[in-house]
Structure 1
Amino acid sequence: MTWNSTFKQRGKPLARTGFKRKEPGAFKAQLDRNTQTLTRKAAMKTRRKRVTVADGAKYLAACRGEPCYLRVPMVCPLNPNDETVVPCHENSLAAGKGMGIKGSHMRTVPGCFLCHAWLDQGKALRVEKGAVFQLAMADWEPVRARKMGLQTQEAA
């Protein structure tokens, strides 16, 4: 197979043209047309402030040095000096939890590693997990309020 049999050979070479300068007003007219489409039809809406770690840091700090409040039956070792206690977030839609979104820092309870794992990855029913969390939150709220210097909802 040869080059000539596969591709048609051009009979005349490409013509060269010189560089042509555009008219001075050509770009300005195009810019004027584009500015009409770029003007805003309505004012920009303000974006909702994203929750930062600093906003909920006081709630997370209140959980430090506390015993496990979740106390899941048959899971929790009930060790008062447990060093694995961390803030456990509520995993319900009511707490602001969503796909890839952690729940509100206000809805945290101190829990040991085993209880936290049960709450997040355990095979228990969602209703059972919610009930355990609600009991723990009821016990934890007055203690947290005293620790943070806040009023409890009952006193208000």
Structure 2
Amino acid sequence: MKRSAPMQRKTSLARTGFKRPDPSSAFKTSFHTKTVLRAKALKTRRKRVTVAEGAKYLAACRGEPCYLRVPMVCPLNPNDETVVPCHENSLAAGKGMGIKAAHDRTVPGCFWCHRWLDQGNASRELKEWTFFNAAFYWYPVRNAKMGLEMQEAV
């Protein structure tokens, strides 16, 4: 295969002087009103819930027994040190890809039940039923512990 020679210019590039753009036309193109309005719309985002706002719900789960009590998974140890707040995994609770549900939608669960709820191979309906059953018993206890008025169970 024969290689061809690289292309070369027959004439050199013409040199021109530097000319500044007209200031009035530059201002009009760079700060167009639609562009400014679009940028302003992008800046207005929904306020994200901080950890401090939901910390009281997470703190209420400390020292509690496991409320999920998944059969054949939970050891049912009342003094279990692995109990953590388990967030609801339904779309109705605000859960999404990479987004955790609101902190008020939590129940205390041991390590094994929490793992089953998040990564287990059970059906979504069974997991939702298990969470709602735990929430039915946990929410009145949590509300009394936090001094909140009674709320409807999920």
Give the structure-1-normalised TM-score.
Answer: 0.79
- The share of aligned pairs that are identical, in percent, is 62
CA pair 80-43 structure 1, distance change in 2 beyond 3 A: same
CA RMSD of aligned residues (A): 2.8
2:62 counterpart of 1:64: yes
> Quick check: which has more Rg, 1 or 2?
1
* Superposition deviation, residue 42 in structure 1: 7.5
- In the other structure, the counterpart of 1:149 is 147
Q: 1:84 aligns with which of 68, 82, 85?
A: 82
Residues 75 and 30 from structure 1, CA distance in 2 versus in 1: closer, same or farther, beyond 3 angstroms? same
In structure 2, the CA distance between the partners of 1:134 and 1:47, relative to structure 1 (3 Å rule), is same
CA distance in 2, matches of 1:15, 1:118: 70
- CA distance in 2 between partners of 1:106 and 1:99 (Å): 19
For normalisation by structure 2, the TM-score amounts to 0.80
Find the residue that maps to 1:133 and give its secondary structure: helix
- Read off the aligned partner of 1:58 and give its amino acid letter: K
Q: Which runs of 5+ in 1 are unaligned?
A: none
Q: Which residue of structure 1 lines up, in the alignment, with residue 136 of structure 2?
A: 138
1:20 paired to 2:17: yes
Structure 2 residue runs of 5 or longer lacking an equivalent are none
Letter in 2 for 1:112: C
Query: In the comparison of the two structures, how many residue pairs are matched?
Result: 146
Paired position in structure 2 for 1:33:
28
Superposed displacement of residue 120, structure 1: 0.7
Q: Report the alpha carbon displacement of residue 107 of structure 1 after superposing the two structures with TM.
A: 0.6
Describe the shift of the 1:11–1:79 C-alpha distance in structure 2 as closer, same or farther (beyond 3 A).
closer
